[in-house]
Amino acid sequence: MNLLKFLVATIVETLLRVLPFPCKTGLVKIGNPDRNAPVLLTCNYHLTVERLRRALKGVDAYLLVANSRGINVWCASTGGLFTSHDVISVLKTSGIEGLVDHRDLILPQLAATGVESKIIGKKTGWKVIWGPVLAKDIPAFLQNKLEKTSQMRQTEFPPMQRIEMAVAWAFPISIILAPFMIPFWREAVFPFISLVWGLSFSIFLCFPLYSQWLSPEGRRVGFIFFDFGRGGFQLILWGAIILGLITYSMAVGDFRWGFILRWGFMSLIIVLLLSIDVMGSTPVLKSGLHGDRLLKIHLDERKCKGVGVCEQVCPRDCYEVDRDRHTARIPRARRCVKCGACMVQCPFDALYFQSPRGEILTPETVRRFKLNLVGKRLVKVEGRL
């Protein structure tokens, strides 16, 4: 794909990011791979495959594209749409087994919430190696003898990703709602679209300024308790807009309650649509809508053997593994986004979630039931039930 086509695909698929964009599954040759070439695997979300191809320029490798229903790796794995079954299927049908002399399979780290390395090993003989979070780090990872730095293992929310999220929210809201306004309030369409885009960019670009307040437990501001993940954030944002509307009306010397009420109501709808799940729109916080945002990750030290898979798959760098003493610790548990990757992959079931009421969520439950869009563990993983 040439640069122009790649740019067009990036723009279109970012504007419509809420939709799946499936591409062909199977085997892709990168450069001139020989029988010792690395074998990488990814999902069949079109933009992911194109970004990987660009990131791997100059590398000789085989790339397997598995069926994730056109959805990106993290969402599809966590939602039960990208499973061990899909990985096994592409390993068996692509012909890769006859092309290389080894059985090392590099999987994207963020697939660890849904694809089980133990099942892949048992059913195919391939050994799973968890690659970096970002495609751009793969060449360095390959050169570094398949060792990841801690930076390669972590998800952050950098400005470029925040811009993508702002666009991905603003575009569908504008094109779905603006046409309804044309018949009865035509002159408000342009201000409405500007408000949607302005608010969306403000919410995501200002994220570092308020993110510390989005902790799952909620915060106290003075004597008022705000659960920022569930309404507090939206209320403050809406209050600021109303204040802005009043200030604007007074500044232009044309204060009218009708204007404040109309645009106050309109901005409330936009704020709710844009920020209803601001925590879930980031990779660094658990969704505010999900009940399991209050779960805490725990380690059963009697079961832990210190093999360190948890450290390899945790996207928030919560773990420290002492390889001499064969034990792990979770010193940065506060950063946990409850993705469940460590629990799914721990070979000794040494990890579990605990709710504030003391209920235990076992590794087996996290493996079998994946999250649906409203945060319920309902999706049964193929081939396990």
Give the nearest distance from C-beta 217 to ligand SF4 in angstroms: 16
Tell me how far apart the alpha carbons of residues 335 and 313 are, in angstroms, rounded to a whole number.
14
Give the nearest distance from C-beta 302 to ligand SF4 in angstroms: 11
CA distances, 58 to each of 36, 44, 54, 174, 230 (Å): 16, 22, 9, 41, 47
**Burial grade of 282 (CB within 10 A; 0-12, 13-18, 19 or more):** buried
**For residues 78 and 337, is the Cβ–Cβ distance under 8 A?**
no
Tell me how far apart the alpha carbons of residues 82 and 134 are, in angstroms, rounded to a whole number.
18
Sign of CA dihedral 113, 115, 118, 121: negative
Give the nearest distance from C-beta 341 to ligand SF4 in angstroms: 4
Give the nearest distance from C-beta 306 to ligand SF4 in angstroms: 5
Q: Which is nearer to ligand SF4, 256 or 302 (CB)?
A: 302
Give the nearest distance from C-beta 103 to ligand SF4 in angstroms: 22
Q: Which is nearer to ligand SF4, 138 or 297 (CB)?
A: 297
* Residue 189 DSSP label: H
Give the nearest distance from C-beta 36 to ligand SF4 in angstroms: 29
Give the nearest distance from C-beta 269 to ligand SF4 in angstroms: 33
* Residue 264 DSSP label: H
Q: Which is nearer to ligand SF4, 79 or 340 (CB)?
A: 340
**For residues 333 and 379, is the Cβ–Cβ distance under 8 A?**
no
**For residues 192 and 181, is the Cβ–Cβ distance under 8 A?**
yes
Tell me how far apart the alpha carbons of residues 24 and 228 are, in angstroms, rounded to a whole number.
41
Residues that bind ligand SF4 (CB under 6 A): 297, 299, 304-310, 313-316, 318, 321, 328, 336-342, 346, 348, 350-351
Q: Which is nearer to ligand SF4, 106 or 304 (CB)?
A: 304
Q: Which is nearer to ligand SF4, 60 or 317 (CB)?
A: 317
**For residues 21 and 46, is the Cβ–Cβ distance under 8 A?**
yes
